[in-house]
């Protein structure tokens, strides 16, 4: 019983100390939570895959993402849900594991839920003080992709 009393304040402290900022703009632009969960599942498959040797180095490894300065790239596009990540830094390229994007999308799924036209949707933009961001939105071009 004592563990529960100690764990709750610790969990609240971790949540309050988060450096990310979620902007849940425009629920009409959000994908359904069902399609977003599917996109998370597909990105999780990449993030949790066994390590493999890539002759061209880590830049070929799908577990790692690389972007030049001031640039965005689509990371996932499934069942109407599009996930993009951006390097908002104007001076340095960005190199990070795809797991960071997966974790950020989970934050938007949890923090930015709404009901639109009778469906539960989630999306928006997650920004990080280290000058990178994630955008989750509905995208017609992603509707047929699995």
Q: What are phi and psi of 115, to 5 degrees?
A: -105, 130
Length of the chain: 146
Q: How far is CA 15 from CA 11, 49, 61, 124, in A?
A: 6, 28, 31, 19
Query: Which structure tokens are listed for 73?
Result: 């790239």
Residue 26: per-residue pLDDT: 84
Contact 127, 133 (CB under 8 A): yes
Bridge partners for 84 per DSSP:
74, 135
Higher-pLDDT residue of 113 and 60 is 113
Residue 12: per-residue pLDDT: 36
Residue 20: per-residue pLDDT: 85
Neighbours of 75 (CB within 10 A): 21
Q: Rounded to the nearest 5 degrees, what angle is found at the Cα of 118, between the Cα atoms of 116 and 123?
A: 35
DSSP string across 19-61: --EEE---GGGPPBHHHHHHHHHHHHHHHTSPP---TT-GGG-
Q: What pTM was estimated for this model as a whole?
A: 0.81
Higher-pLDDT residue of 11 and 46 is 46
Residue 144: per-residue pLDDT: 81
Residue 3: per-residue pLDDT: 38
pLDDT in tens, 19-57: 889 999 888 899 999 999 999 999 999 888 877 766 666
Contact 38, 142 (CB under 8 A): no
pLDDT in tens, 84-122: 999 999 999 998 999 999 999 999 999 999 999 999 999
Residue 128: per-residue pLDDT: 95
Residue 5: per-residue pLDDT: 42
């Amino acid at each position: 019983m004592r563990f529960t009393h100690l764990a709750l304040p610790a969990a609240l402290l971790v949540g309050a100390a988060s450096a990310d900022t979620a902007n849940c703009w425009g629920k009409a632009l959000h994908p359904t939570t069902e399609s977003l969960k599917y996109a998370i599942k597909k990105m999780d498959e990449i993030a949790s895959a066994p390590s493999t040797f890539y002759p061209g180095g880590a830049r070929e490894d799908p577990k790692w993402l690389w972007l030049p300065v001031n640039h965005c790239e689509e990371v996932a596009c499934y069942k109407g849900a599009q996930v993009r990540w951006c390097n908002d830094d104007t001076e340095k390229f960005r190199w990070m594991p795809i797991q960071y994007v997966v974790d950020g999308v989970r934050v938007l799924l949890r923090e930015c839920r709404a009901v639109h036209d009778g469906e539960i949707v989630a999306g928006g933009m997650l920004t990080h003080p280290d000058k990178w961001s994630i955008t989750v939105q509905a995208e017609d071009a992603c509707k047929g992709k699995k």
